[in-house]
Structure 1
Amino acid sequence: MADVVELQFQWPPVEKMDATLGTLTECWKLSLSTNCIGAINGLANMKKLRVLGLSRNYIKSLMGLEVVGDTLEELWISYNQIDKTRGISALRKLKVLYMAHNLVKDWPEFTRLQDCPLLDDVIFLGNPLMEAMEETDWRRAAVKKLPQLKTLDGEPIIVEFEEQPPPPPPAQPEGGDQGNVAGEQPPTEEPA
């Protein structure tokens, strides 16, 4: 049995995922990118699947992935027609999600990625949600929603997006009047 199966750029293209995929019981990496697949199916017996490549297809939904929720670590699903992230919650071991150039436009759909506790590498470029914002604002908001991220859109997360504590107050001068700053004269009283 093959442990890596790559069926991208097929002619004629693969049009559907069916039960024949279930015969690939030892497969840990399956690539069906650049085909004409419209829905995710047929993964039920793929108990060792860790990496799934479905980029450049016609997929509209993440439904069908729940059967590999206990093993799938990487999902490459860029350049599809996905507008909702329903189904992502089942992927408890997911670490990498490449979902660029889809149709996600709402924050609740992005926020659903919080249900994947190990997720630390996300590519979301080209989705209407991201495209509607300045890059810095997008990165700041995305990291706030997914604080465990190490990489967003191919770039490492840096500490500039973390909340910085306020600077400490200036040191008080030793001895003398604690109310005065060095070099200031104490206030004088006006004659009555």
Structure 2
Amino acid sequence: MSDRPTTIKEALDKWEKKNEMKASEATEIGLQFQMPPIEKMTPELAALKNCEKLSLSTNNIDRIVLPPLPNLKILALGRNNIKSFAGLEVLCDTLEQLWISYNSIEKLKGIELMKKLKVLYMGYNSIKDWNEVSKLTALSETLTDFNIYGNPVIETSENYRVDVIQRLPFLKMLDGEPALI
């Protein structure tokens, strides 16, 4: 087996063979669990104009580099090495769900641009500061479901659920349970 990472082009070619259709026509694309793992998001992703749900989870990606994908509503990037939300701006008018748990995100800078985000799963990242969690108030019109469990910030609280809900009273779900105090 090769030591070099799988490219987006190779992963898309494999996906097309397996699914017997062009990736450019699909509404759902799964490129998760590539062996060897994908390390870089490359311009070939621009072909996914019809894609509404894209999964690149469980790879070895460290930066978000996406072209505008006009129909993308759900993006799964869990279990990678992503450190920031930089690169998501191109999806600010369409993205409704971001699944980005098990990464290395410390700051929520840029998340306030996600005007339609309803679901943000970011458990097991590196959020240490309650001021970062408070940045989600910018999404009070849309965000209803949030996962923060496993981040260091919750260890600083006697009852982290109360602290999250006080900061984000608009949430309906927190860590998979109704957001009630």
TM-score (norm 2): 0.84
Distance 1:102 1:12 in 2: 23
Distance 1:97 1:17 in 2: 21
Corresponding position: 1:10 with 2:34:
yes
1:58 corresponding residue in structure 2? 81
2:5 corresponding residue in structure 1? none
Note if contact 1:43-1:65 (Cα within 8 Å) is conserved in structure 2: no
> Which consecutive unaligned segments of at least 5 residues does structure 2 have?
1-24
Corresponding position: 1:147 with 2:169:
yes
Which residue, 48, 51, 71 being the options, matches 1:24? 48
Q: CA deviation at 1:13?
A: 0.9
Which residue, 52, 67, 71 being the options, matches 1:48? 71
Q: CA deviation at 1:42?
A: 2.1
Distance 1:42 1:20 in 2: 10
Identity of aligned residues (%): 50
Q: CA deviation at 1:133?
A: 2.0
3-state SS, counterpart of residue 75 of structure 1 = strand
3-state SS, counterpart of residue 136 of structure 2 = helix
Distance 2:93 2:147 in 1: 22
1:130 corresponding residue in structure 2? 154
- CA displacement, residues 162-190 of structure 1 (integer Å, 9 cap, x when unaligned): xxxxxxxxxxxxxxxxxxxxxxxxxxxxx
Code of the aligned partner of 1:6? G
3-state SS, counterpart of residue 146 of structure 2 = strand
1:176 corresponding residue in structure 2? none
Larger radius of gyration: 1
Runs of 4+ displaced beyond 3 Å: none
Which residue, 82, 89, 92 being the options, matches 2:112? 89
1:174 corresponding residue in structure 2? none
> Which consecutive unaligned segments of at least 5 residues does structure 1 have?
162-192
